Structure 1
Amino acid sequence: MANGNGSFKSKPTSDTKGKTITCKAAVAYGPGEPLVVEEIIVHPPKKMEVRIKIIYTSICHTDISAWRGENEAQRAYPRILGHEACGIVESVGEGVREVKEGDIVVPIFNGECGECRSCKCEKSNMCERNGVNPMKKVMEGDGTTRFSTLQGKPIFHFLNTSTFSEYTVVDSPCLVNFLHPQLSLSLKHLTLLSCGVSTGVGAAWNTANVHSGSSVAVFGLGAVGLAVAEGARARGASKIIGVDINPDKFIKAQAMGVTDFINPKDEEKPVYEIIKNMTDGGVDYSFECTGNVDVLRDAFLSAHLGWGLTVVLGIHASPRLLPIHPMELFDGRNIVGSVFGGFKGKSQLPHFAKQCGHGVVKLDNFITHELPLEEINKAFDLLIAGKSLRCLLHF
């Protein structure tokens, strides 16, 4: 179990190695239906797979999108959602060398096999074998699941991780080893690095390469958007404009570096015009974190002519295409997408954790609630209502 500071005091025993485990999980049985916390069976890991005991997991808006079934192609039930967590290795399958029983690990939805052409390319953090794939619902090795109901019905996987379960099985390229947690980070903090914080800070650092003295606009002040702001603050941005329709978020945003706040509901002019007036023609960098194409257009037009860069982080489940005319790209603005903040998970996340441990990025403000897994539906409601950033769930 984990103590109040999120550090680990004991580890799973080897009694379960090679055997099935019965444990609690929150199972999705249909789009928008309340998750059911029940006993399930978790099967042993197969070749190049790892079974881990989840210590903490949290909820991201991507989990909510999948839970709602916003993209019909993603619908697969029953399914165990969740992709942001920290845990400890219970057992490993054949061929696994990078982790062993008892290691502290963070599961990552965008894996790194280290062998494919994309992994070997310094310009990309994609992986051809274990990259992010919201349509994937089974294990990479044999195309089957490692979860089942007590009655033997298969339960599908989600985003390479499925962390809303006391135990889960992941492909080894989708785990980052934190065997030596002398990084001054608790397990609670490590949980944040498996998605939201890494995605936002990495977008500011790796994708945009925000520079000191620059101006930034962040559209959507959820956990990812605030992580962008925190990353921009750490890089020395002089003006960080937060845009959100929830005025309560500005107080939290100020603590993470946001210098100005715009609520589109309070304005008569388009947001991009307001930002242009505030920044002498537009910001150096804008970040779209909402998954709304109309907001994306505002973000793009708020970037300065000639050099402004717009980074897309929001998950766009709608079939609507980019609201940008090709000729608008001839004004010198650029637009690019960012997955997992451009981080190569296995090879770069440990260094990022060390930076966080040294206080370069402040993590405490992202954890707003803690609840037991049995109250996961309450945690969903808090996030949907905009009342939480990250609610840590424990078993």
Structure 2
Amino acid sequence: MADELRATLEVEAPVTAPTDRELTVEVGWVLAGAFDEVDRRALALARTRLAELITTWFPGFAWRFPVVWRRELRPGSPVEPIELLEAATDERDHGRWDFVLVVTAAALKSHYKPFALGAPSSALDAAVISTQRLDPIVEDEQAEEDERIETIARRVTALAVHLLGHLNDLPHQDDPADFMYDLKTAADLDRMRYLQDRERMEEALREVAAERLEETATYRRPGLARRRGARLGFGLRVLWREWRNIWEAVRDVEPWLFPLRFSRLTTAAFSALVFLLMTAEVWELGMSQPPLRVAALALLTLAATSLYLLQRQHLLRRHRWETRFSEQRTVAGIAATVSVVLGMATTFLLIFLAVLLIGKLLFSFRLISGWAALEPTWRHYLTFAGFVATLGLVAGALGASFEQEVYFRHVLLIDEET
């Protein structure tokens, strides 16, 4: 029986003829863990329907929808979406897919909402779907088996289209019948019927279907990926070639919200700020520094704290088995790096403005002149604010290093909780 159900899942979905290699798009499915018979049949139906829908909308591409069943991935419920996404990207790299959808029967852990049905990651070209809340038995215990299969299949298909839209940078729509509607419940998936931004998605797919950098003759040589110089050159070429996709991934992360999302970072930084503001020696030391020295120290500290967090949270980790170049992994790594730098820069700016405001409101010229043995001017206040913000950034980085790794990666790599 198990073999028969697996055969049902692994049957090839309808695809167009591969007439042009440059227009081939592969959307891999990774089934994570165990599924009951209803889920298996529903997923097989959803995969076929998604293939039919996508190939009808975009007939100019040769579509492939391979499937891999990872039975050993038996996550507890709720499961962190990022853990499944990172496991799925290994399959994506192995199969050289363009996108990957990982499906689980477990509930997804949500950090911003009461629950999540799915989660896209444009940086990883991957998305995760949970079938737990898609089953009508959650709402009606008397639902028949055929009704359950049909409803789950319909909802998985709609959710897969919605997530693929996110991976191709489609915005949300206000019409509940549009697949890019910002859904709130599983029932919202039942009303989705059309995709308004198909032309925009087709344009994005043409970029996806183009030959990736690692597929060119330059980077297909055996052993080249192990050379540090070659990897640096590859990374620079990816940055030049994919800067728009990198920026879109960074924008989806919203690094300017770091101080709100990482409470340990903000708490440590502003705790240091309070202590430093009440110390006369700090005022004297900070105001006596040349502005250019403070600016250079701030830039150096921003680079050092960003690198520290990237290493501490294992965002620059390489797998030992990774012997090939991967444009997708490189894009994700660059996007994560830029996001951390911008997030720390936002934290620095916030501390700088807070110090400047508090200093001007609460610390008079007469008080400061008694502490620092000088006649303070605006230049001195600005220099002092930069000096304290630099020290506060160091404290914030130490605080952020204690954030749970899985949560830190969730913030950096997952666009939204759908």
TM-score under structure 1 length normalisation: 0.26
Structure whose residues are more often strand by fraction: 1
Structure whose residues are more often helix by fraction: 2
TM-score under structure 2 length normalisation: 0.25
